[in-house]
Amino acid sequence: MLAHGSGGKLAHELVESSFLKALANPLLAKLDDSAVFNFSGRLAFTTDSYVVSPIFFPGGDIGKLAVCGTVNDLAMSGAKPLYLSLSFIIEEGLPQGELSQVVDSIQKAAQEAGVEIVTGDTKVVHRGSADKLFINTAGVGIIPEGVDISGNNARSGDKVILSGAIGDHGIAVLSRREGLSFSTQLESDCAPLGGLVADMLAASSNIHSLRDPTRGGLATTLNELAKQSRVSIRIEEEKVLVRDEVLAACEMLGFDPLYVANEGKLVAIVPPEDTDKVLKVMRENHYGKEAAIIGEVRAEHPGRVVMKTCLGSSRIIDMLVGDILPRIC
């Protein structure tokens, strides 16, 4: 068990025993106040804090999420993710074993993503001041020459590609939440997407926008893109892949899968002439094998997202407001 305020020695031991060994690399091993490295080119820099509850869920844990989330934010700018920082805020009483498990999955995720953890920090706070474990990661990556990806770049006529099924992460996490647990075979889709994006950029340097539909789901991401680029987006319900397990859980809870979080999916806005080649390389990648064109960008009604339903009618897809709450009946 980790206790608060035991001073420098214990913290030092924690860093030595848990982190340095698992995350070993020359930059981190120096233990200087800052990681120092050389860079040339255009830099992408991002940060995110992870407070998921429960910290372990089917298909991942808070550690894997903290690496993948930040790696994916870098990748969505077209950057090749390189280095991450890692800060822990630990509630006293967290079993050492659980922390080790988290560090272990951080190591595995970082290895898969091809990034190094080069600096970090650990704080242990009083019981009740945090919920088990909070993690912040920041990351930097290099944007290749000629790549210009932004939520502003969607143009009328572009195609909208979705890399796979939606809602897996949100439902997997919810299935383990206190007071709501239900059994499902479903696992979180939590995955680092740097490799997938690299393959896509190799196929086309003219990808206009990339975004990972995390909190707020696909609906919120499409709305952000439509508003930022001042275009409308039309998607087709039948093209959006939702697994049976997700559909069933959403029916039970009264959720719309379009608003449920993903942690290993991306939306790409691609000019029509490059769509086929981008789709081809996506489908050859493990994390994009179910990729499909789900709709297109149009000029009229800027900021609006419309979905053609399975009945052939249309409806507006709005942003998520607040949290989604389970319904009564």
157 contributes a contact to other proteins by CB under 8 A: no
Of 21-29, 93-101, 247-255, 267-275: span binding other proteins (CB under 8 A): 247-255
Q: Which 8-state DSSP code applies to residue 141?
A: E
Question: Which of 232, 262 has the CB closer to other proteins?
Answer: 232
Rounded to a whole number of angstroms, the minimum distance from the CB of residue 326 to other proteins is 4
Among 42, 108, 176, 304, binds other proteins (CB under 8 A): 304
For 251, residues 6+ apart whose C-beta sits below 8 A from its C-beta are none
Of 106-114, 122-130, 207-215, 249-257: span binding other proteins (CB under 8 A): 249-257
Q: What are phi and psi of 72, to 5 degrees?
A: -70, -35
302 contributes a contact to other proteins by CB under 8 A: no
C-beta neighbour count of 118 within 10 angstroms: 23
Measured at the CA of 116, the angle between CA 114 and CA 121, to 5 degrees, comes to 145
Q: In what order do the strands lie in the sheet with 80-91?
A: 42-50, 133-143, 80-91, 116-125
Among 31, 36, 180, 299, binds other proteins (CB under 8 A): 180
16 contributes a contact to other proteins by CB under 8 A: no
Residues paired with 179 in a beta bridge? none
3-state secondary structure 283-320: HHCHHHCCCEEEEEEECCCCCCEEEECCCCCEEECCCC
Cα dihedral across residues 290, 220, 264, 204: positive or negative? positive
Strand duo 159-162 + 292-298: pairing: antiparallel
312 contributes a contact to other proteins by CB under 8 A: yes
Q: In what order do the strands lie in the sheet with 267-270?
A: 209-211, 267-270, 159-162, 292-298, 232-236, 305-308, 314-316
How many residues touch other proteins under the rule CB under 8 A: the total is 31
Of 15-23, 56-64, 149-157, 303-311: span binding other proteins (CB under 8 A): 303-311
Of 27-35, 101-109, 243-251, 285-293: span binding other proteins (CB under 8 A): 243-251
131 contributes a contact to other proteins by CB under 8 A: no
32 contributes a contact to other proteins by CB under 8 A: no
239 contributes a contact to other proteins by CB under 8 A: no
Among 238, 273, 276, 284, binds other proteins (CB under 8 A): 238
Question: Which of 29, 299 has the CB closer to other proteins?
Answer: 299
Round to whole Å and give the CA distance between 174 and 57. Answer: 9
Of 94-102, 194-202, 223-231, 241-249: span binding other proteins (CB under 8 A): 241-249
For 138, residues 6+ apart whose C-beta sits below 8 A from its C-beta are 45, 46, 47, 48, 70, 84, 85
The footprint of other proteins (CB under 8 A) covers 179-180, 232, 238, 244, 247-248, 251, 253-254, 256, 300-301, 304, 306, 309-316, 318, 321-322, 325-329
